[in-house]
Amino acid sequence: MFAVVEVAGIQFKVAPKDRINVPSLAEKPGTKIHLERVMLVGDDKTVVVGHPLVAGASVEATVIDHGKGVKVIVFKKKRRKRYRVKRGHRQGYTEIEINSIAQ
């Protein structure tokens, strides 16, 4: 069984036992969360597509950990003006594990 869920405006294709990194959530590690914005649910034989959401479907997940992604370097320069700026950014994420998909 698989599903397409929306978390913080981003869609993810998930199946039970999958671990995915989603944008930072406020929940503490070990907390169970219910993802209600399910766009599609399917298995080997049938696929149910929502319009825009599948009625009554939900995905249960557990928060595993919080972390930061790889560093992205932003470098700005204007020639002949002695202007240079170097900045780094690490986007925060939350790792979740999908427990079950209810249709």
d(C-alpha 50, C-alpha 56), whole Å: 10
Alpha-helical runs (H) found in the chain: none
| Helix, strand, coil distribution of the chain in percent, nearest 5 | 0, 60, 40
How high is the pLDDT of residue 103? 82
Residue 93 has pLDDT above 90, yes or no: yes
Residue 40 structure tokens: 């599609």
Q: What is the mean pLDDT of the chain?
A: 94
Mean pLDDT of 47-60: 92
Mean pLDDT of 23-32: 94
